[in-house]
Amino acid sequence: MSSPETPTVGKREERRPRDMALSLAILLVPIALLLLFYRMVLGGDEPISVDAEPTLQQARSAAVFPVSEPQGLGDDWHVQSATFKRGDDGATLRIGYVDPDKKPIQLVQSSVAPTTLVPGELGEKPREPVGTFRDEARIWQRYEGRPGENALVLRESGRTVIVVGPASSAHLETLAAALS
């Protein structure tokens, strides 16, 4: 009886690392081209901007507190979100910005009592101001917010304004000073 022959692999049938690299390159080149097209042509890295005007009008028409709107911010500032909500304890206007360094900043204007609003926005543990910032017309209190965040707080009769985010103090001050 003869023994079955063992199949041998010829030179053309071997798989080499070079073949695998070529196969991956064929897949990765179109993906890289699509990613470049998305970023360069479609502006995929740019923040999405929304129009805050309808929300500002809604807050003004509610007449719960005086509504301030930033004036004179450059084209490198973008509004990402805007909401106005009324609750049992007061009303709150929130406008989310992206600063020139692509960091988020939240502008909060509210008739909610500062003893409730400030801890809710900056974190629960009791906080004391760490300094002040003076713009042309007002004196803001500077706070450390949640880890990595800074905040400016303005307490006025009937409303509290908070500018908070991980952005630099200079950008927080720019937004606070731009409020009219």
Question: Do 71 and 159 have their domain in common?
Answer: yes
Distance CA 106, CA 172 (A): 9
Do 61 and 132 share a domain, yes or no?
yes
pLDDT at 13: 65
Residue 6 counted as domain residue: no
Q: Which of 105, 103, 158, 169 is nearest to 131 (CA)?
A: 169
- Shared domain check, 59 and 27: no
pLDDT of 167 strictly over 80: no
Domain shared by 19 and 75, yes or no: no
Are 32 and 97 members of one domain?
no
User: Domain of 98?
Assistant: 53-178
pLDDT reading at 57 higher than 70: yes
- Nearest alpha-carbon partner for 99 in 83, 118, 84, 80: 80
**Is it the case that residue 58 has pLDDT exceeding 80?**
yes
Please check the confidence at residue 88 and state whether its pLDDT lies above 80. Answer: yes
- The predicted pLDDT at position 20 comes to 87
pLDDT bracket for residue 55 (50, 70, 90): very high
CA distance 75 to 163: 19
Q: Helices in the chain by DSSP H: which ranges?
A: 17-40, 53-62, 114-122, 169-178
- 8 versus 86: which is more confidently predicted? 86
Query: Do you know the residue count of the chain?
Result: 180
DSSP state of 64: S
Any domain includes 69:
yes
Q: Is residue 141's pLDDT more than 80?
A: yes
pLDDT of residue 48: 76
Q: Say if residue 170 is in the same domain as residue 93.
A: yes
Whether 4 is covered by a domain: the verdict is: no
Phi-psi region of 170 (alpha: psi -120 to 50; beta: other; left: phi over 0): alpha
Does the structure show a pLDDT above 90 at 175? Answer: yes
Angle at 130 between CA 151 and CA 112, to 5 degrees: 45
Using alpha carbons, select from 77, 107, 75 the residue that is nearest to residue 92: 107
Residue 57 forms part of a structural domain: yes
Same domain, residue pair 65 and 109: yes
- Paired tokens of 163: 């500018």
pLDDT digits (tens, 9 = 90+) for 94-129: 999 999 998 999 999 999 999 899 999 998 765 788
Structural domain includes residue 95: yes
- Please tell me whether residues 20 and 69 are part of one structural domain: no
94 and 120 share one domain: yes
Residue 136, pLDDT > 60, answer yes
What integer pLDDT is reported at residue 168 of this predicted model? 80
Number of domains in the chain: 2
Same-domain check for residues 35 and 113: no
Q: What is the pLDDT of residues 3-49, one digit of tens each?
A: 667 666 555 667 788 888 888 889 898 899 888 888 888 777 676 78
Do the domain assignments include residue 5?
A: no
Claim to verify: residue 59 and residue 18 sit in the same structural domain: no
